[in-house]
Amino acid sequence: MFSVRLTEVALPTSEREIDNLVGWFIDTLSLVRKRGEATADQGTAGPVHRLLRDYLFAQPEVSWDAQMLADELALTPASLNHHLTRLVEAGIIGFSNEGKGWRRYFLRGGSLENAIEFFSLQCETIVKQRMALLESLWNRENPNLGTEPVPSEKPVLCIGIVDHRPLLPESKENLLSQWMGDFGLLGERPGKEAHAESISVQLFQLLLNRDLPLSLDEASELLNEQKPRIGRILERFRSTGMVHRVPRIDRLNVALWSAMTAQHQRRGEDWMLKKGGFQRILNTKQQSSLLSSLKKGKLKVEDVEKSIQGVSIDEQMLLLNLLGGRLPLGHRMAGYSPEEVHREIAVRIDRTLRRMRRVAQLLEQAMVS
């Protein structure tokens, strides 16, 4: 079964250092789970690193006997089998049962570049097939807020890509929770989060059925769960590229009202006109209406909404910034349709795959030289 966790890693700084290039592949395919501080050898003495560098990558036309590899790498058969199984599941190497004795392992396609092409095709095909599940669960529509909120800085991509398989009869999962676990939405070791009624699954269902961005406060109240845990789950969602963190433009009027009220009490009318952005962004009628209500202490959110009609969303956000206010953030799916979400993650996966092809070329050139 094809199964890999793909992590977005910057291209290696050294294009001729074999250990750096091999280490880049290990990090990109998440073949070694890093713990604690970095070691002095930077992982180059690890069994997976030596297995790839000295055998599978170094001599791609050779098939390697598992017993011989265990002896050469000073590993027990069980430990070696664990590492080889991870590589086989990732689609980089294959094995043959031809002849007598132990299995023989080899690099697919006879070269690293060919192996990466096989890998790329499998990734793209599996992602396309499995994203079809969202179509039956999708209930979002475009709320037409006037402008598309720009996502905040995106975290490093870390996404699982796993073949579809039937649910076990005794499993506590459902199709959605299994799907989420395979894509990495439930973390590396899901445990109880893989259950059909877990908090992670409920939170994802909220996002699938909600047009407006979801804030931590709202999610905590709806799911009766603490905000720190909700935040950690949403960060996992963001790392897969399926969920974005965006400004809550639907709360822009409330944020402007709060900023205007606070700054008028603190700094007065003159500051708001000159440095607060009123003269820069609002016309005379709008300025007079807002300042009159502020003087009387009767400004309401509805008054702000009425007064700034006709002002673009971008200018409203600029006004909020000049007033020293902050627009709250929320989380939403990375598109208003399953196709948009698929396109978003496909672009990011393709970027990593193109890097893999480039590093494969560099590594083969370095091996030859």
Number of structural domains, the chain? Answer: 3
- Same domain? For 296 and 242 the reply is no
Q: Are residues 282 and 268 in the same domain?
A: yes
Alpha-carbon span 344 to 338, nearest angstrom: 10
State residue 250's pLDDT score. 85
| Segment 60-85, tens digit of pLDDT | 888 888 888 888 888 888 888 989 99
At 205, the amino acid letter reads: Q
pLDDT of residue 116: 95
**Taking Cα atoms as reference points, which of 269, 253, 268 lies closest to residue 325?**
253
Query: Is residue 333 a part of any domain in this protein?
Result: no
- pLDDT tens by residue, 114-172: 999 999 999 999 999 999 999 999 988 765 555 566 777 889 999 999 999 999 888 88
Contact status, residue 179 vs residue 130, Cβ threshold 8 Å: yes
Query: Worst-scoring range by mean pLDDT, 7-16, 41-50, 276-285, 330-339?
Result: 41-50
Q: For residue 369, is pLDDT > 80?
A: no
Q: What is the pTM of this model?
A: 0.85
160 shares its domain with 193: yes
Q: At what angle do helices 77-89 and 66-73 cross, to 10 degrees?
A: 120
Residue 111 and residue 57 share a domain: yes
pLDDT band at 313 (very low <50, low <70, confident <90, very high): confident
Residue 289 sits in the same domain as residue 358: no
Same domain as 166, residue 193: yes
Q: Which residues contact 269 (CB under 8 A, 6 or more apart)?
A: 291, 294, 295
- Percent of the chain at pLDDT above 70? 94
H helix or E strand, kind and range, residue 260: helix 252-267
Within a domain: 332: no
Residue 230 pLDDT > 70, yes or no? yes
Is-contact 124 345, C-beta < 8 A? no
Mean per-residue pLDDT over the chain, rounded: 89
Residue 344 in any domain: the answer is no
> Is 36 a residue whose pLDDT tops 80?
no
Does residue 258 share a domain with residue 243?
Answer: no
Q: Are 229 and 256 members of one domain?
A: no
pLDDT of residue 107: 93
Distance CA 313, CA 252 (A): 9
State the number of CA atoms in the 13 A half-sphere of 73 facing the CB.
29
Q: With CA atoms as reference, report the closest residue to 188 among 342, 31, 351.
A: 31
Take residue 202 and report the two structure tokens written for it: 């409920």
- Picking from 247, 270, 299, the residue at the C-terminal end of a domain is 247
Does residue 329 lie in a domain region?
no
Residue 55 pLDDT grade (very low, low, confident, very high; cuts 50, 70, 90):
very high
The answer to whether residues 108 and 49 belong to one domain is yes
Interatomic CA distance for residues 358 and 172, integer angstroms: 42
Task: Give me the pLDDT at residue 170, please.
Answer: 86
Domain boundary among 216, 247, 278: 247
- The pLDDT confidence band at residue 228, using thresholds 50, 70 and 90, is very high
Confirm whether 165 is domain-assigned: yes
Residue 56 lies in a domain: yes
At 97, the pLDDT band (50, 70, 90 cuts) reads confident
pLDDT of residue 32: 86
pLDDT tens by residue, 169-212:
888 889 999 999 999 999 888 888 889 999 999 999 999 999 88
Instruction: CATH number of the domain at 99, please.
Output: 1.10.10.10
Which range of residues forms the domain containing residue 316?
Answer: 251-322
pLDDT at 206: 94
What pLDDT is recorded for position 190?
Answer: 86
On whether both 164 and 255 belong to a single domain, the answer is no
In the chain, what are the helix, strand and coil shares in percent, each to the nearest 5? 55, 10, 35
Residues 89 and 39 in one domain: yes
Please report the pLDDT score of residue 164 as a whole number.
Answer: 93
Q: Which residues contact 200 (CB under 8 A, 6 or more apart)?
A: 180, 185, 186, 190, 193, 233, 236
